[in-house]
Amino acid sequence: MLNPSIDLSQMWTTVQEPRTPSYVPNSYLLLLSALDAGWQVSAVDLASSWDQHGFIYVVSLHFGERPVHQQIILPKNPLVDSLLDEYFSDHSAPSGD
């Protein structure tokens, strides 16, 4: 039963990212869906991380000629390395790493 004190009319300002039951990071799936939707990678930077991954990718995306930009942070792992290598073999290399 729902608690009557919960406000169910809350409007979200961003799309919610549900947890996935797989070994793939959510940010990886977010990047895949963004690329499928027409977003393009404008820059990729490799940064150090303070968690168990050691390094992370900061992927900057843009959508067409509009001033819409997004950044996605991905752990550095073979799956992400492969995706970025494949993307850049199909597209011209961006500024950055």
Higher pLDDT pick, 17 / 36: 36
Tell me which residue has tokens 């499928």: 36
pLDDT of residue 36: 85
DSSP class per residue in 17-75: ----SSSS-HHHHHHHHHHHTT-EEEEEEEEE-SSTTSEEEEEEEE-TTSS-EEEEEEE
Residue 95: pLDDT above 80?
A: no
pLDDT band at 44 (very low <50, low <70, confident <90, very high): very high
Higher pLDDT pick, 79 / 1: 79
- For 3, 50, 65, the CA distances from 61, given in Å and listed in that order, are 40, 24, 12
